[in-house]
Amino acid sequence: MSVQQTNRLIYEEVNSLLKNGPLKPKNKIHQVDWRKGYIKGNIIVCEDQGYHMVLHVRRRALEACGHAHWRKCRYCKMHSDPVTMASSLDRSGYPVYAHFECVAQVQRMLRKDPKNKKCANEKRRLYRQMIRKMKKLYFIS
């Protein structure tokens, strides 16, 4: 059975559970708890892929820090309130967030060496070290 046939069976099963008429092709099915399967209380029909991805971002944030509206810093990978972070759009148009301290650290690194050839993993390691030092200084847990 192909992936498309499997997806069609899932859509038919969801239609029979919801009884709201046929789903549109752009609708996406989101399972609140993927371990429970396709049961009535476990399904959200999303209007499009964008809303579906927002649900996944919020779930990951809730699992990581206990706050669904917090976002992950693109540099240190720690979650914080978006109000206290700088935001911008990436190449595909999705919002990305970064701590002001992390942005300042990146700018300092780039000012020292504009053609910085360090790999991304090394940069992440440095950012995490910087955040740990800041937490110790400000007694943040």
**Same domain, yes or no: 60 and 82:** no
**Same domain, yes or no: 125 and 140:** yes
Please state whether beta strands 43-46 and 28-31 pair in parallel, antiparallel, or not at all (unpaired): antiparallel
Q: Amino acid identity, residue 85? A: M
pTM score: 0.62
**Same domain, yes or no: 58 and 74:** no
Residue 19, SS3 per DSSP: coil
The CA distance from 90 to 135, in Å, is 28
Judged against a pLDDT cut of 60, whether residue 119 lies above it is answered with no
The number of folded domains in the chain is 2
The CB-based long-range contact list for 27-32 (8 Å cut-off, 24+ gap) reads 28/52, 30/55, 30/56
In tens, the pLDDT along 42-98 reads: 777 788 888 888 888 898 899 888 999 999 998 888 999 999 999 888 777 788 899
State both tokens at 9.
């069976």
The CA distance from 62 to 68, in Å, is 4
**Same domain, yes or no: 140 and 88:** yes
Q: Which domain does 3 fall in, by range?
A: 1-69
**Same domain, yes or no: 96 and 51:** no
**Same domain, yes or no: 141 and 125:** yes
**Same domain, yes or no: 109 and 74:** yes
Number of alpha carbons in the 13 Å side-chain half-sphere of residue 64: 17
The CA distance from 14 to 29, in Å, is 8
**Same domain, yes or no: 58 and 81:** no
Q: Please identify, among 17, 41, 69, the residue that sits at the C-terminal boundary of a domain.
A: 69
Quick one: average pLDDT of 103-118? 72
